[in-house]
Amino acid sequence: MLKKIDISLKSIYRFSGYIAAFFLVLVAVFILVGISSRIFGFYIRGLAEYSGYCMAASSFFALSFTFVEGGHIRITLFLEKVSGVKKKFLENWCLIIASFYSGYLAFYFLKMLKISYEFQERSEGADEILIWIPQTSVAIGSSIFFICVLHHLILKIFNK
């Protein structure tokens, strides 16, 4: 059963990376449409805001995929000098700290999403979109990242 959970979580992290890539493509599309609209003399409201929302979504969905692939800046230079029990302790300690802060981040993004939804808060841009809509992707991405870090902590503790 734990193996199935591990496989499922890894597929969620991979899918999260695909979602991040999709949002990154949307950023490029919005920027290109904005540039071409200025060249041809018409204006589309909210393109800058939408590209910003897509960039935030891309960044947060990419966190877990990048963490699994080893793309985050880590303390490997320091850990290479240490071995044995000290290395295991330091790796666990770093993952505990990362779990705490990623959980803190996810909690407050979810709280912010809830408040924005309850008050039906709108963006200050030209589009006046309900702000909870773009915040949803950030909250989901940060929650997946928290699960990812916690997952790796559990795997590291049980030597898997």
Residue 150 structure tokens: 């916690």
Question: pLDDT value at position 139?
Answer: 95
Q: 152: domain range?
A: 2-157
Altogether, the residues listed in the chain come to a count of 160
Average of per-residue pLDDT values in the chain? 89
35-65: burial string, b at 16+ Cβ within 10 Å, e else:
eeeeeeeeeeebbebbbbbbbbbbbbbbbbb
pTM score, whole prediction: 0.87
Beta bridge partners of 122: 130
- Total domains in the chain come to 1
**Mean per-residue pLDDT for 44-56?**
87
CA dihedral 147, 150, 156, 160 (to 10 degrees): -30
Q: What angle do CA 81, 87, 93 make, to 5 degrees?
A: 125
> In the predicted model, what is the mean pLDDT of residues 33-53?
87
In the predicted structure, residue 59 carries a pLDDT above the cut 80:
yes
Residue 103, pLDDT score: 96
How many Cα atoms are found within 13 Å in the side-chain-facing hemisphere of 144?
A: 30
First to last CA, the chain: 14
Cβ proximity of 48 and 34 under 8 Å:
yes
pLDDT at 160: 60
Contacts of 34 (CB under 8 A, 6+ apart): 44, 47, 48, 51
User: Nearest CA to 99 among 158, 157, 145, 138?
Assistant: 145
